[in-house]
């Protein structure tokens, strides 16, 4: 629930237009009242999504890093790109048109503006307070603690803006994912404002994926006696962008983006989608996906070869592959043409799925608008593009996807 203090801080922050002075990789931190460090990111340098993101603690920071790191694969599927977005763990104050707010948000905002005789009109005029959770649809900020923490971050951002106006923004170093010794400003609240110090930015933690075993010994025994096929499967653990409901979960988190195992039979080009849906990805849930694959193999035969799309999928399969004498390959060690079918299938699935956001217009039209912007943007604007999008532009330029003049410009531009 948004408090008066949160509304006041948000509307004051909007007046600073700090997104015109900082890029979204110039982080600063604030000591929060719950004892944790909050990492703050100002978004909106490209004029689209105007917001302040608060990533709380190391868990939140790691989710921010997912946005900044280069893709593990040279050309990740749309499903994997969407997973990065749906894996964010943060609180956010963004500025939207009134039409983008829910009925409840509109009523609360109108009550505040009427009490304080404030008029909000136009695009990006209305503050919206949102909570993002990994593999869950975003929800409005609904409790007093989250509202308080977001208020503290906005007040720290006001102090940062004051210093930027006095000294410029060069003292806020852009994030360097390759460094382990980077420091960022830390603002600690005092009676008179904030005390400034430097904070060592924790590095990105390498992801460790569960390596399950098939615990159903009866199923494993039957698989060992099942006929061997000559098929080659290309498999991938994906997060679907369509939220599903689980009535067994708490009402506040009953909707989730499910993980599932999908793939392609390289010989028949048949799409494989196993029915097991997992509401997270840990060892227990990975075991359920593995069991579902085992039951599928009972009916379809044990393949001679499997190519895993990424390390997460390889870790899921490695024990079962060893037990059943299946040749298991990681994408980097395999013929990339065999993965092209799966990449297309995942992109089609992502385009057809109903995500948590309301889409408007035609997807091709939106892509054309995006390209028109990129083609007319100056070099400084192109340098502000997030890393994971930039790497895809470079790959596209090398592969001849773009017109020659634009491709040459991307390849010569230094970031």
Which of residues 141, 165, 200 is at a domain's end?
200
Q: What is the pLDDT of residue 253?
A: 56
33 and 134 belong to one structural domain: yes
188 and 245 belong to one structural domain: no
Confidence of residue 68 (pLDDT cuts 50, 70, 90): confident
Whether residue 205 lies inside any domain: the answer is no
Q: CATH no. for residue 258?
A: 3.30.420.10
pLDDT tens-digit profile of 54-67? Answer: 999 999 999 999 98
Whether residue 206 lies inside any domain: the answer is no
Most confidently modeled of 43-47, 92-96, 381-385, 401-405?
92-96
What does the pLDDT average to over 40-68? 93
314 and 287 belong to one structural domain: yes
24 and 153 belong to one structural domain: yes
Q: Between these two residues, 387 and 338, which has the higher pLDDT value?
A: 338
103 and 224 belong to one structural domain: no
92 and 241 belong to one structural domain: no
CA dist list (Å): 32 to 23, 147, 196, 349, 352: 23, 12, 14, 41, 41
348 and 369 belong to one structural domain: no
Q: Is 305 helix (H, G, I), strand (E, B) or coil?
A: strand
What is the sign, positive or negative, of the torsion defined by CA atoms of 340, 343, 344, 345?
positive
26 and 153 belong to one structural domain: yes
**DSSP secondary structure letters along 75-128:** S--HHHHHHHHHT--EEEEEEE-GGGS-HHHHHHHHHHHHHTT----STT-EEE
185 and 58 belong to one structural domain: yes
pLDDT tens-digit profile of 352-393? Answer: 764 443 333 343 443 444 555 566 566 666 665 555 456 666
Gap between the Cα atoms of 10 and 29, Å rounded: 18
Whether residue 210 lies inside any domain: the answer is no
Q: What is the pLDDT of residue 369?
A: 45
Which of residues 200, 229, 264 is at a domain's end?
200
327 and 253 belong to one structural domain: yes
State the pTM of this model: 0.80
What does the pLDDT average to over 272-295? 94
What does the pLDDT average to over 302-309? 93
Whether residue 212 lies inside any domain: the answer is no
Confidence of residue 344 (pLDDT cuts 50, 70, 90): confident
Whether residue 45 lies inside any domain: the answer is yes
Gap between the Cα atoms of 259 and 239, Å rounded: 4
Q: What is the pLDDT of residue 339?
A: 77
Q: What is the pLDDT of residue 366?
A: 38
Residues spanned by the domain of 229: 217-352
Whether residue 331 lies inside any domain: the answer is yes
Whether residue 102 lies inside any domain: the answer is yes
The number of distinct structural domains making up the chain is 3
What does the pLDDT average to over 112-128? 91
Confidence of residue 228 (pLDDT cuts 50, 70, 90): confident
335 and 187 belong to one structural domain: no
281 and 337 belong to one structural domain: yes
Whether residue 60 lies inside any domain: the answer is yes
Q: What is the pLDDT of residue 361?
A: 38
Which of residues 174, 200, 226 is at a domain's end?
200
Contact call for residues 261 and 279 (beta carbons, < 8 A):
no
Per DSSP, helices labelled H in 353-384 are 363-376, 379-383
For residue 35, give both structure tokens. Answer: 């004892």
């Amino acid at each position: 629930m948004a408090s008066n203090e949160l509304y006041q801080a948000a509307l004051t922050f909007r007046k600073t237009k700090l997104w015109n002075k900082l890029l979204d990789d110039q982080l600063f931190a604030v000591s929060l009242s719950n004892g944790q460090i909050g990492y703050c990111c100002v978004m909106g340098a490209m004029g689209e999504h105007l917001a302040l993101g608060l990533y709380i603690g190391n868990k939140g920071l790691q989710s921010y890093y997912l946005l900044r790191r280069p893709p593990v694969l040279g050309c990740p599927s749309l499903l994997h790109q969407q997973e990065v977005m749906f894996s964010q763990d943060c609180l956010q104050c963004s500025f939207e048109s009134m039409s983008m707010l829910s009925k409840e948000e509109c009523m609360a905002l109108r009550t505040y503006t009427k009490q304080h005789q404030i008029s909000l009109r136009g695009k990006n005029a209305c503050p919206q307070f949102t909570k993002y959770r990994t593999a869950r649809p975003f929800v409005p900020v609904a409790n007093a603690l989250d509202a308080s923490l977001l208020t503290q971050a906005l007040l720290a951002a006001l102090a940062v803006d004051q210093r930027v106006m006095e000294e410029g923004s060069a003292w806020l170093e852009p994030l360097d994912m390759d460094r382990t010794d980077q420091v960022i400003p830390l603002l600690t609240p005092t009676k008179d404002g904030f005390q400034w110090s430097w904070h060592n930015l924790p590095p990105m933690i390498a992801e460790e994926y569960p390596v399950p075993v098939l615990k159903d010994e009866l199923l494993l025994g039957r698989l060992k006696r099942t006929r061997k096929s000559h098929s080659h499967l290309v498999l991938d653990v994906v997060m679907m962008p369509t939220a599903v409901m689980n009535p067994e979960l708490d009402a506040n988190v009953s909707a989730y983006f499910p993980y599932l195992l999908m793939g392609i039979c390289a010989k028949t080009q048949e799409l494989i989608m196993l029915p097991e849906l997992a509401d997270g990805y840990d060892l227990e849930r990975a075991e359920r996906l593995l069991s579902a694959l085992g039951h599928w193999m009972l009916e379809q035969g044990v393949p001679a070869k499997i190519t895993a799309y990424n390390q997460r999928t390889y870790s899921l399969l490695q024990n079962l592959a060893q037990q059943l004498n299946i040749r298991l390959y990681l994408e980097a060690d395999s013929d990339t043409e065999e993965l092209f079918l799966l990449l297309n299938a995942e992109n089609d699935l992502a385009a057809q799925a109903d995500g948590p956001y309301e889409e408007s217009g035609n997807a091709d039209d939106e892509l054309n608008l995006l390209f028109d912007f990129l083609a007319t943007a100056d070099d400084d604007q192109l340098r502000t593009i997030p890393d994971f999008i930039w790497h895809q532009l470079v790959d596209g330029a090398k592969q001849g996807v773009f017109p020659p003049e634009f491709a040459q410009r991307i390849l010569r531009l230094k970031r």
